Every structure is written in C-alpha cells, then in structure tokens.
Amino acid sequence: MDSIFVYLNPETVSEGSGPLQGLKISIQPNISASGWPTDAGSNALINFKALVDATLVSRLREAGAVIKGLTRMSEFGFGLAGSRAGDAVSRGAVDAELVLDLMGESRLAAQRAVVCGFKPSYGLISRYGLIGLIPSMENCGVLSRSLKNIREMVKIIAGPDEKDFSLPDEKLPDFSPQKVNPKKTTVGVITETKSGLQGDQESALHAAIDELKEAGFRIKEMSFPDFSLFSLVHKIVGSVEASSCAGRYDSVRYGHRVPGAKNWNEMYLSSREEAFGLLVKSYLFQGAFFQFQRYDAYEDACRIRARLLEDMQKTMSKADFLLLPAANGVPTDATASLSGTYEQFSPTVFANVTGQPALYLPSASGSAQSGFQLAGPRLGDARLFAMGEYLLNLRQGGKS
C-alpha cells in the first residue's frame, strides 16, 4: 500500500507560537507551502513547487502549529480515489488534516477515518495558495478526532485576507464556545434525503434522529423537492469551471511534457492527453462539452443553482440545523468513474453548491458504520461547531 505521506517536513518544531502551539497538522499537495512539491496529485503539475505559503498555512504556522507534511491525494482532490486523506489522523500521525472539499471530500474522508470532518462556509477561509479545480464550489476542509481542535484551527485561519478579495463583507462568526439549548433548537430532516438510502446509511440516519430526539432537540421533517438537482448542478457547473481552470496545464513551465512535438499545439494536446488521469480527463471533457456545445444547458444549470440557493435559504429559515445522511460506504478505486463518484458524493454535494457549512460526525456507537452530517446556514459555522460539540459532549456523559 502507498504510504500516507508523499512529503515530510524536515522541520519538526513550530516556527511561531500561539494558541495552536504544538498541534501537528498535515496538508495535501494542492495547498501551497513555499518550496514544497505542490503537484495537486496530478502529472499535469509534476515538478511544480509552490512559490509562496497559502494564507491558511502561514496563519497556522504563526499560531504555533507544525505542518508535518503532505498526504497522498486524488488527482486535483476531485473525489477520493487514490487518496489517503483521513489516514494520518486515524493513525494518530497528526492531530488534524486539511483537505480541500470540492464535493464532500473532507467529510467522506472523515467518515472513512471515523473522525470529525468540517467544510466551512464558502469564502470563510482564504483560497490564496489553494490549487483548486472548481473555484465556486470548493473550500478547505478540516479533519480531526477533536471537534474543538477543528474549531480552534478554523478560528485561526478564517477571516479576510488582503490576498483574496472573495471573502464576504458579512460579519465573521464568533468562534468562542457557545451554549446550545435543545428545547429551542430545531433540526430539520429533509424528506427527500430519506428515500433511496442504502446499506447502513438508513440505520445511521435513524440512529442520529433518535440521538437528537433523546437529547431534547425538536426534529422537523421538511420537504426539499429539488434536492436531487444539487448533484446535477454541481456536475455541470463544476465541470465547466474545471475545464477552464485546468486549461493552463500546458507542460510549458512545469508538468509532464511529451517530447518531440512538432509545434506548440501538438505539445499542448499530447502532453495533456498523457498528464491527466481518466477521471479528471472525463470531467474536463464534460466541462468542455457544456462550454462549447451545450452552453444553454450550462446557463440553465446556473439558473437552477440560483433557485436551489433560494430554496435552501427558505429551508434554513425554518430550522437551525439540517440533519443529513452520510455517504454509503467509502469510495474505492473501483468507483472512480464520473457517475460513480457523483453517486458516492450525492449526500454531501449540496453544501458545495450552496456554500453553507457542513459537518460530518461519526455515529454514537463509535463503530466504523456511517455517521451523519449536520449543516447550518451560510456563515453559521460557529453555531454548527457549538451544536456538534454539544452532541459529542453528551455522548461522553457530559451535560452540555
């Protein structure tokens, strides 16, 4: 089996000092650390070394954390085939891992590792230095056994960055510990997510509903008729973004190059043909197809996305949190087809389309069976942490 780490930091002590003193963190090769091999798991970037630290990396270092190294990732972090995300945490090699969440990767990796996984609100964490594929859908996720660790890290890395103007002007969440009153807290369960569940997804969801009811939360069943469209919208809009995003991988300044081409055009085409793996290549093809052949369908998908956002806002106005199922099992390389990948991530992809925060929590039984997801409104990240920590506390016999 491939090793978990593809690069280990020769420095083992922290450079800064602060609230994260001594915390060991791993990142992946699509998160820039100056001078480290940053190939985003793709031959298209082979030999590329980051020129600068990503904003979140420099903030973690300043706060005293040690970046231990880079863990093996899927190509461009799209899906989890070939990725070892989550393994470093589950084996105790690090306290936390950073994993880009394009369609639910940080949450599914957490599920695989039986730890907590968090995807922040879109724009909450600077994207400067992150080598993404689907800019409007992705953000950096965090995995750890300890939800408190995740909260402390997000508190450090969140917030405006003069190098990334896409962060919202809205007021930042207050990440200090908050009280949760179950009797005044409504958790919505979307009817449409309860049907078609497979394997232990269904029993895990029911176990979660029971756990919340027992803790005194109000469970409210709500309908979201178009929930299944999240996957479709992500697939179309995401692939178009990926296609133009990956247009720059031309083998000229870095990346795999096929020698002997007669001209630049041939070099571009043949190098790209060899550089990209099958899954990413089919995704890029699909994006190019919508961009060049079916632009109307792409525009429709953008309109549907705007409508889904409105629907989600309405839904979130009637509940404090949403409870959603986790994925059915964990991905293997056998599922690394485009449709297989989307099927795998169908429970998580909604949060990437809407930009809202979502949290994966392992099941109460502590076994490797499916846990569940909690989601909050956009920029409700701090409340979501409070809710998660409240539940985990109860499990350990604490009161609140």
Q: Which is nearer to another protein, 133 or 386 (CB)?
A: 133
- Cβ proximity to another protein: between 217 and 276 the closer is 276
311-330: contacts with another protein (CB under 8 A): none
Member of 36, 48, 118, 224 binding another protein (CB under 8 A): 48
Comparison of 88 and 130: residue with beta carbon closer to another protein: 130
The residues in 152-211 that bind another protein, with binding defined as CB under 8 A, are 163-166
Q: Is 50 in the site for another protein (CB under 8 A)?
A: yes
| Shortest Å distance, C-beta 7 to another protein | 16
> Of 127 and 151, which has the nearer Cβ to another protein?
127
> 321: which strand partners?
187
The span of 67-75, 131-139, 213-221, 225-233 binding another protein (CB under 8 A) equals: 131-139
Binding track over 17-46 against another protein, x by CB under 8 A: ---------------x-----x-x----x-
CA atoms in the 13 A half-sphere facing the CB of 44: 25
Asked if 105 interacts with another protein (CB under 8 A), we say: no
What number of CA atoms fall less than 13 Å from residue 152's CA on the CB side?
Answer: 17
Q: Which of residues 225-284 bind another protein (CB under 8 A)?
A: 240-241, 244, 246-248, 250, 252-253, 264, 268
Chain residues binding another protein by CB under 8 A are 32, 38, 40, 45, 48, 50-52, 54, 126-131, 134-136, 163-166, 240-241, 244, 246-248, 250, 252-253, 264, 268, 291-292, 295, 298, 302
